[in-house]
Chains A and B, each alone.
Chain A
Amino acid sequence: MTLTIHDLRKESGSYLPGSAACPGCGATLAFRIASRVLGPNTVYVVPASCFSVIQSPFPKSAISAPLYNIAFPAAAATASGVYRAYKMLGKDINVVVWAGDGGTVDIGIQALSGAAERGEDIIYVCYDNEAYMNTGIQRSGATPLKAWTKTTPTGKREMPKDMPMIVAAHRVPYVATASVGYPFDLANKFEKAKRIRGFRYIHIFSTCPPGWNSPVSKTAEVAKLAVDTYFWPLYEIENGKLRITVKPRKRPLKEFLELQDRFRGLSEEEIEELERIVMEKWNFLLHLEKSERVF
Protein backbone atom coordinates (compact mmCIF):
# COMPACT_ATOMS: atom_id res chain seq x y z
CA MET A 1 0.00 0.00 0.00
CA THR A 2 1.25 3.45 -0.88
CA LEU A 3 0.15 6.45 1.13
CA THR A 4 -1.19 9.45 -0.77
CA ILE A 5 -1.86 13.02 0.30
CA HIS A 6 -5.53 12.12 0.89
CA ASP A 7 -4.56 9.37 3.35
CA LEU A 8 -2.29 11.78 5.19
CA ARG A 9 -4.94 14.49 5.36
CA LYS A 10 -7.38 12.11 7.02
CA GLU A 11 -5.04 11.43 9.93
CA SER A 12 -4.43 13.81 12.79
CA GLY A 13 -0.84 14.49 13.74
CA SER A 14 0.76 15.12 17.11
CA TYR A 15 2.14 18.57 16.35
CA LEU A 16 0.39 21.75 17.49
CA PRO A 17 1.07 25.13 15.78
CA GLY A 18 2.87 27.86 17.67
CA SER A 19 5.92 25.94 18.86
CA ALA A 20 9.37 27.36 19.55
CA ALA A 21 10.83 25.94 16.31
CA CYS A 22 12.60 28.30 13.93
CA PRO A 23 10.65 29.32 10.81
CA GLY A 24 11.14 26.75 8.06
CA CYS A 25 12.34 24.01 10.43
CA GLY A 26 12.89 20.65 8.74
CA ALA A 27 12.52 18.71 11.99
CA THR A 28 8.95 19.88 12.63
CA LEU A 29 8.08 19.16 8.99
CA ALA A 30 9.39 15.62 9.40
CA PHE A 31 7.63 15.18 12.74
CA ARG A 32 4.28 16.41 11.39
CA ILE A 33 4.29 13.84 8.61
CA ALA A 34 5.74 11.00 10.70
CA SER A 35 3.29 11.52 13.56
CA ARG A 36 0.37 11.35 11.13
CA VAL A 37 1.54 7.96 9.90
CA LEU A 38 2.45 6.60 13.34
CA GLY A 39 -0.95 7.56 14.71
CA PRO A 40 -2.14 8.35 18.23
CA ASN A 41 -1.01 5.01 19.66
CA THR A 42 2.57 6.23 19.94
CA VAL A 43 4.96 7.29 22.70
CA TYR A 44 7.99 9.42 21.88
CA VAL A 45 11.35 9.44 23.62
CA VAL A 46 13.46 12.53 22.95
CA PRO A 47 17.08 13.01 24.07
CA ALA A 48 18.60 16.49 24.29
CA SER A 49 18.27 18.00 20.83
CA CYS A 50 16.56 20.83 18.97
CA PHE A 51 13.39 18.87 19.55
CA SER A 52 13.64 19.41 23.31
CA VAL A 53 13.37 23.13 22.56
CA ILE A 54 10.73 22.78 19.85
CA GLN A 55 8.38 21.28 22.47
CA SER A 56 8.41 24.75 24.07
CA PRO A 57 8.83 25.78 27.72
CA PHE A 58 7.04 24.26 30.73
CA PRO A 59 4.08 24.14 31.45
CA LYS A 60 2.97 23.97 27.79
CA SER A 61 3.96 21.52 25.10
CA ALA A 62 3.58 21.73 21.33
CA ILE A 63 3.47 17.93 21.06
CA SER A 64 0.11 16.36 21.80
CA ALA A 65 1.44 12.80 22.15
CA PRO A 66 3.02 11.35 25.31
CA LEU A 67 6.67 12.33 25.19
CA TYR A 68 9.53 11.51 27.51
CA ASN A 69 12.58 13.79 27.69
CA ILE A 70 15.78 12.00 28.61
CA ALA A 71 19.51 12.63 28.88
CA PHE A 72 21.62 12.75 25.73
CA PRO A 73 23.11 9.22 25.66
CA ALA A 74 20.11 7.32 27.03
CA ALA A 75 17.39 7.56 24.36
CA ALA A 76 17.51 4.02 22.97
CA ALA A 77 17.92 2.49 26.45
CA THR A 78 14.93 4.46 27.75
CA ALA A 79 12.79 3.48 24.77
CA SER A 80 13.66 -0.20 25.40
CA GLY A 81 12.43 0.17 28.97
CA VAL A 82 9.29 2.06 27.96
CA TYR A 83 8.39 -0.61 25.41
CA ARG A 84 8.93 -3.45 27.92
CA ALA A 85 6.87 -1.70 30.57
CA TYR A 86 3.95 -1.32 28.16
CA LYS A 87 4.36 -4.94 27.10
CA MET A 88 4.07 -6.06 30.73
CA LEU A 89 0.86 -4.02 30.98
CA GLY A 90 -0.40 -5.87 27.91
CA LYS A 91 -0.42 -2.80 25.66
CA ASP A 92 0.92 -2.71 22.11
CA ILE A 93 2.30 0.79 21.65
CA ASN A 94 4.67 2.24 19.04
CA VAL A 95 7.69 3.43 20.98
CA VAL A 96 9.60 5.95 18.89
CA VAL A 97 12.91 7.61 19.64
CA TRP A 98 13.04 11.04 18.02
CA ALA A 99 16.68 12.08 18.22
CA GLY A 100 18.95 14.57 16.49
CA ASP A 101 22.16 13.62 14.74
CA GLY A 102 24.32 14.47 17.75
CA GLY A 103 22.19 12.27 20.00
CA THR A 104 22.45 9.47 17.45
CA VAL A 105 25.82 9.34 15.74
CA ASP A 106 27.96 10.75 18.58
CA ILE A 107 26.53 10.66 22.07
CA GLY A 108 23.70 8.14 21.69
CA ILE A 109 25.48 5.55 19.55
CA GLN A 110 26.31 3.18 22.42
CA ALA A 111 22.73 2.84 23.64
CA LEU A 112 21.51 2.71 20.04
CA SER A 113 23.93 -0.07 19.18
CA GLY A 114 22.94 -1.98 22.32
CA ALA A 115 19.22 -1.71 21.57
CA ALA A 116 19.77 -2.78 17.96
CA GLU A 117 21.85 -5.75 19.07
CA ARG A 118 19.17 -6.85 21.58
CA GLY A 119 16.54 -6.41 18.85
CA GLU A 120 14.31 -4.13 20.90
CA ASP A 121 10.88 -3.55 19.39
CA ILE A 122 11.25 0.21 18.85
CA ILE A 123 11.53 2.69 15.97
CA TYR A 124 14.63 4.85 16.20
CA VAL A 125 14.36 8.05 14.17
CA CYS A 126 17.33 10.32 13.62
CA TYR A 127 16.43 13.69 12.13
CA ASP A 128 19.75 14.76 10.76
CA ASN A 129 20.50 18.47 10.43
CA GLU A 130 24.19 17.64 10.22
CA ALA A 131 25.51 19.54 13.27
CA TYR A 132 24.68 20.47 16.88
CA MET A 133 22.22 23.19 15.86
CA ASN A 134 20.53 23.61 19.23
CA THR A 135 23.73 24.62 21.01
CA GLY A 136 24.95 26.89 18.22
CA ILE A 137 26.11 24.99 15.12
CA GLN A 138 29.03 22.89 16.36
CA ARG A 139 30.22 20.08 14.09
CA SER A 140 28.98 16.56 14.76
CA GLY A 141 29.86 13.13 13.44
CA ALA A 142 27.20 13.65 10.77
CA THR A 143 28.52 16.96 9.42
CA PRO A 144 29.53 16.47 5.78
CA LEU A 145 33.04 16.93 4.44
CA LYS A 146 34.02 20.59 3.83
CA ALA A 147 30.91 22.02 5.53
CA TRP A 148 31.30 25.16 7.62
CA THR A 149 30.27 25.06 11.27
CA LYS A 150 31.34 27.23 14.22
CA THR A 151 33.94 24.63 15.19
CA THR A 152 35.08 23.93 11.63
CA PRO A 153 35.51 27.51 10.34
CA THR A 154 37.54 26.40 7.32
CA GLY A 155 35.31 23.44 6.49
CA LYS A 156 35.17 19.99 8.09
CA ARG A 157 38.17 17.85 7.19
CA GLU A 158 36.69 14.45 8.02
CA MET A 159 34.06 12.31 6.34
CA PRO A 160 30.73 11.90 8.19
CA LYS A 161 29.79 8.56 9.72
CA ASP A 162 27.57 6.45 7.48
CA MET A 163 25.04 5.88 10.26
CA PRO A 164 22.31 3.98 8.35
CA MET A 165 24.92 1.45 7.23
CA ILE A 166 26.34 1.18 10.76
CA VAL A 167 22.86 0.29 12.05
CA ALA A 168 22.23 -2.04 9.10
CA ALA A 169 25.40 -3.92 10.04
CA HIS A 170 23.58 -4.93 13.25
CA ARG A 171 21.33 -6.98 10.92
CA VAL A 172 18.15 -5.25 12.12
CA PRO A 173 14.90 -5.89 10.16
CA TYR A 174 14.48 -2.38 8.75
CA VAL A 175 16.79 0.56 8.01
CA ALA A 176 15.82 3.47 5.78
CA THR A 177 17.01 6.93 4.78
CA ALA A 178 14.46 9.67 4.09
CA SER A 179 14.39 13.36 3.26
CA VAL A 180 11.93 16.13 4.06
CA GLY A 181 12.12 17.02 0.36
CA TYR A 182 10.37 13.73 -0.47
CA PRO A 183 7.51 13.63 2.05
CA PHE A 184 5.60 10.76 0.41
CA ASP A 185 8.70 8.58 0.42
CA LEU A 186 9.17 9.52 4.09
CA ALA A 187 5.53 8.75 4.96
CA ASN A 188 5.63 5.37 3.24
CA LYS A 189 8.81 4.39 5.04
CA PHE A 190 7.14 5.11 8.38
CA GLU A 191 4.09 3.15 7.23
CA LYS A 192 6.35 0.20 6.44
CA ALA A 193 8.36 0.51 9.66
CA LYS A 194 5.16 0.62 11.71
CA ARG A 195 4.17 -2.83 10.44
CA ILE A 196 7.52 -4.52 11.05
CA ARG A 197 8.47 -5.98 14.44
CA GLY A 198 11.93 -5.56 15.89
CA PHE A 199 14.44 -2.72 15.80
CA ARG A 200 13.71 -0.23 13.02
CA TYR A 201 15.87 2.75 12.10
CA ILE A 202 14.95 5.75 9.93
CA HIS A 203 17.47 8.48 9.18
CA ILE A 204 15.85 11.71 7.94
CA PHE A 205 17.77 14.41 6.10
CA SER A 206 16.31 17.53 7.68
CA THR A 207 17.08 21.05 6.49
CA CYS A 208 18.18 23.63 9.08
CA PRO A 209 17.90 27.15 7.58
CA PRO A 210 19.70 28.99 10.45
CA GLY A 211 22.49 26.41 10.67
CA TRP A 212 23.11 25.95 6.98
CA ASN A 213 22.39 29.58 6.09
CA SER A 214 19.94 28.49 3.43
CA PRO A 215 16.91 30.65 2.54
CA VAL A 216 14.06 29.98 5.01
CA SER A 217 11.57 29.33 2.22
CA LYS A 218 13.84 26.72 0.55
CA THR A 219 13.59 24.05 3.28
CA ALA A 220 11.86 21.58 0.98
CA GLU A 221 13.89 22.49 -2.10
CA VAL A 222 17.29 22.05 -0.38
CA ALA A 223 16.24 18.63 0.93
CA LYS A 224 14.93 17.64 -2.49
CA LEU A 225 18.13 18.80 -4.23
CA ALA A 226 20.17 16.74 -1.76
CA VAL A 227 18.44 13.66 -3.17
CA ASP A 228 18.47 14.80 -6.81
CA THR A 229 22.22 15.48 -6.71
CA TYR A 230 22.84 12.05 -5.08
CA PHE A 231 24.24 13.81 -2.00
CA TRP A 232 21.64 12.02 0.14
CA PRO A 233 20.46 8.81 -1.59
CA LEU A 234 17.09 7.44 -0.46
CA TYR A 235 17.18 3.71 0.18
CA GLU A 236 15.82 1.10 2.52
CA ILE A 237 17.31 -2.17 3.77
CA GLU A 238 14.61 -4.67 4.59
CA ASN A 239 15.83 -7.95 6.09
CA GLY A 240 19.25 -7.32 4.60
CA LYS A 241 18.04 -6.55 1.07
CA LEU A 242 18.82 -3.05 -0.14
CA ARG A 243 16.51 -1.13 -2.46
CA ILE A 244 17.02 2.43 -3.70
CA THR A 245 13.54 3.95 -3.37
CA VAL A 246 14.06 7.14 -5.37
CA LYS A 247 16.25 7.23 -8.48
CA PRO A 248 16.12 10.79 -9.79
CA ARG A 249 17.96 12.07 -12.82
CA LYS A 250 21.36 13.29 -11.61
CA ARG A 251 21.71 17.04 -11.19
CA PRO A 252 25.05 18.81 -10.66
CA LEU A 253 26.07 18.86 -7.00
CA LYS A 254 26.77 22.57 -7.36
CA GLU A 255 23.04 23.34 -7.42
CA PHE A 256 22.68 21.85 -3.92
CA LEU A 257 25.84 23.45 -2.52
CA GLU A 258 25.02 26.92 -3.89
CA LEU A 259 21.80 27.19 -1.87
CA GLN A 260 23.66 27.03 1.45
CA ASP A 261 26.28 29.36 2.88
CA ARG A 262 27.93 26.50 4.79
CA PHE A 263 29.53 25.39 1.50
CA ARG A 264 30.41 28.92 0.38
CA GLY A 265 33.88 29.54 -0.94
CA LEU A 266 34.60 26.01 -2.14
CA SER A 267 36.96 25.96 -5.11
CA GLU A 268 36.10 24.14 -8.34
CA GLU A 269 38.52 21.34 -7.38
CA GLU A 270 36.85 20.91 -4.02
CA ILE A 271 33.41 20.69 -5.61
CA GLU A 272 34.78 18.13 -8.06
CA GLU A 273 36.18 16.11 -5.15
CA LEU A 274 32.79 16.16 -3.42
CA GLU A 275 31.10 15.19 -6.69
CA ARG A 276 33.47 12.24 -7.02
CA ILE A 277 32.71 11.07 -3.45
CA VAL A 278 28.97 11.39 -4.06
CA MET A 279 29.16 9.34 -7.27
CA GLU A 280 31.33 6.69 -5.60
CA LYS A 281 28.66 6.28 -2.90
CA TRP A 282 25.85 6.13 -5.47
CA ASN A 283 27.62 3.51 -7.60
CA PHE A 284 28.35 1.51 -4.46
CA LEU A 285 24.62 1.56 -3.57
CA LEU A 286 23.70 0.46 -7.13
CA HIS A 287 26.16 -2.39 -6.69
CA LEU A 288 24.67 -3.33 -3.30
CA GLU A 289 21.16 -3.25 -4.76
CA LYS A 290 22.11 -6.10 -7.07
CA SER A 291 23.32 -8.37 -4.28
CA GLU A 292 21.05 -10.80 -2.47
CA ARG A 293 21.90 -9.55 1.02
CA VAL A 294 23.86 -6.50 2.12
CA PHE A 295 24.39 -7.71 5.67
Chain B
Amino acid sequence: MGLGVPIIIPVSKPSKGAAGKTGLWRVERPVVDEDKCIKCWLCWLYCPEDVITEGANGFPQIDYTFCKGCGVCADVCPTKAIQMVKEEE
Protein backbone atom coordinates (compact mmCIF):
# COMPACT_ATOMS: atom_id res chain seq x y z
CA MET B 1 0.00 0.00 0.00
CA GLY B 2 2.98 2.29 -0.36
CA LEU B 3 2.58 4.65 2.60
CA GLY B 4 6.26 4.25 3.28
CA VAL B 5 5.76 3.78 7.02
CA PRO B 6 7.91 1.03 8.48
CA ILE B 7 5.95 -1.53 10.45
CA ILE B 8 7.56 -2.30 13.81
CA ILE B 9 6.14 -5.14 15.88
CA PRO B 10 6.75 -4.28 19.56
CA VAL B 11 8.26 -7.61 20.59
CA SER B 12 11.40 -7.69 22.74
CA LYS B 13 13.97 -10.41 22.08
CA PRO B 14 15.57 -12.26 24.99
CA SER B 15 19.15 -11.26 25.58
CA LYS B 16 21.73 -11.36 28.34
CA GLY B 17 22.51 -7.91 29.66
CA ALA B 18 19.14 -6.48 28.61
CA ALA B 19 19.82 -3.51 30.89
CA GLY B 20 23.49 -3.21 29.95
CA LYS B 21 26.58 -4.41 31.78
CA THR B 22 25.03 -4.40 35.25
CA GLY B 23 28.39 -5.36 36.79
CA LEU B 24 29.17 -1.64 36.61
CA TRP B 25 26.63 -1.06 39.42
CA ARG B 26 28.77 -3.07 41.81
CA VAL B 27 30.40 -1.50 44.88
CA GLU B 28 31.72 -4.73 46.39
CA ARG B 29 32.63 -7.90 44.51
CA PRO B 30 32.05 -11.43 45.87
CA VAL B 31 35.20 -13.58 45.87
CA VAL B 32 34.98 -17.35 46.38
CA ASP B 33 37.55 -19.01 48.65
CA GLU B 34 37.84 -22.46 47.09
CA ASP B 35 39.52 -23.91 50.20
CA LYS B 36 36.44 -23.21 52.30
CA CYS B 37 33.80 -23.97 49.63
CA ILE B 38 31.90 -27.25 50.19
CA LYS B 39 29.99 -27.01 46.86
CA CYS B 40 26.55 -26.92 48.50
CA TRP B 41 25.42 -24.49 45.74
CA LEU B 42 23.31 -22.41 48.11
CA CYS B 43 24.99 -19.31 46.62
CA TRP B 44 23.77 -20.42 43.20
CA LEU B 45 20.27 -21.05 44.55
CA TYR B 46 19.91 -17.68 46.27
CA CYS B 47 21.66 -15.49 43.68
CA PRO B 48 18.93 -13.08 42.51
CA GLU B 49 20.81 -12.33 39.30
CA ASP B 50 21.58 -15.92 38.14
CA VAL B 51 25.28 -15.07 37.62
CA ILE B 52 26.77 -18.07 39.49
CA THR B 53 27.63 -21.09 37.38
CA GLU B 54 29.82 -24.14 37.78
CA GLY B 55 33.35 -23.30 36.66
CA ALA B 56 35.75 -25.64 34.87
CA ASN B 57 37.28 -26.65 38.23
CA GLY B 58 33.87 -27.57 39.70
CA PHE B 59 33.67 -24.57 42.02
CA PRO B 60 31.18 -21.69 41.79
CA GLN B 61 32.19 -19.15 39.19
CA ILE B 62 30.76 -15.63 39.24
CA ASP B 63 30.07 -13.70 36.04
CA TYR B 64 31.42 -10.26 36.99
CA THR B 65 30.02 -8.68 33.82
CA PHE B 66 26.51 -8.85 35.26
CA CYS B 67 26.96 -9.47 39.05
CA LYS B 68 25.37 -6.48 40.81
CA GLY B 69 27.28 -7.14 44.02
CA CYS B 70 24.24 -7.48 46.30
CA GLY B 71 26.11 -9.91 48.57
CA VAL B 72 23.23 -12.38 49.09
CA CYS B 73 25.62 -15.23 48.16
CA ALA B 74 28.09 -14.21 50.87
CA ASP B 75 25.24 -13.90 53.39
CA VAL B 76 23.78 -17.39 52.77
CA CYS B 77 27.13 -19.24 52.45
CA PRO B 78 27.22 -21.73 55.37
CA THR B 79 31.04 -21.86 55.51
CA LYS B 80 31.63 -18.14 54.87
CA ALA B 81 33.62 -19.03 51.76
CA ILE B 82 32.49 -15.90 49.91
CA GLN B 83 34.01 -12.56 50.93
CA MET B 84 32.77 -9.19 49.75
CA VAL B 85 35.78 -7.15 48.60
CA LYS B 86 35.66 -3.40 47.81
CA GLU B 87 35.86 -2.66 44.09
CA GLU B 88 38.98 -0.68 43.21
CA GLU B 89 38.60 2.51 41.22
Q: A: which residues have CB within 8 A of B?
A: 5, 8-9, 13, 15-21, 23-26, 28-29, 32-33, 55-64, 183, 209, 216-221
Contacts and interface: CB of A to CB of B under 8 A. Distances in A.
Contact of B76 (A8, A13, A220): A220
Nearest to B46: A220
* Interface range on chain B (Cβ under 8 Å from partner): 35 or more
Contacts of A219: 46, 48, 70, 72
Contact of A56 (B19, B51, B65): B19
B17 A17 contact: yes
Contact of B14 (A57, A61, A216, A217): A61
Interface string B8-37: 001011111111111001000000000000
A28 B46 CA distance: 10
B15 A220 contact: no
Interface of B: 10, 12-22, 25, 40-42, 44-51, 63, 65-72, 74-76, 84
B71 A5 contact: no
24 contacts: A5-B45, A9-B44, A16-B16, A18-B17, A18-B19, A18-B21, A18-B22, A19-B22, A20-B18, A23-B48, A23-B49, A56-B18, A56-B19, A57-B19, A59-B12, A61-B12, A61-B14, A62-B18, A183-B46, A217-B75, A218-B72, A219-B72, A220-B46, A221-B75
B22 A61 contact: no
Most buried by B among A28, A55, A56: A56
Contacts of A58: 10, 12
B14 A64 contact: yes
Nearest to B12: A61
A18 B20 contact: yes
Given A183-B46, A220-B46, A17 B16 contact: yes
A63 B13 CA distance: 9
Most buried by B among A23, A64, A221: A23
Given A5-B41, A26-B48, A183-B46, A19 B14 contact: no
Nearest to A54: B19
Those 9 A-B pairs whose CB atoms lie nearest each other, nearest first: A217-B71, A56-B18, A18-B17, A24-B70, A61-B12, A20-B19, A23-B70, A23-B68, A60-B18
A17 B84 CA distance: 20
B22 to A, nearest CB: 5
Contacts of B47: 29, 32
B25 A218 contact: no
A286 B13 CA distance: 47
A23 B27 CA distance: 11
Contact of A18 (B16, B41, B46): B16
A61 B19 CA distance: 8
Contacts of B22: 17-19
Contact of B48 (A16, A24, A221): A24
Contacts of A24: 48, 68, 70-72
Contacts of A17: 16-17, 22, 49-51, 63, 66-67
A17 B65 CA distance: 9
A117 to B, nearest CB: 32
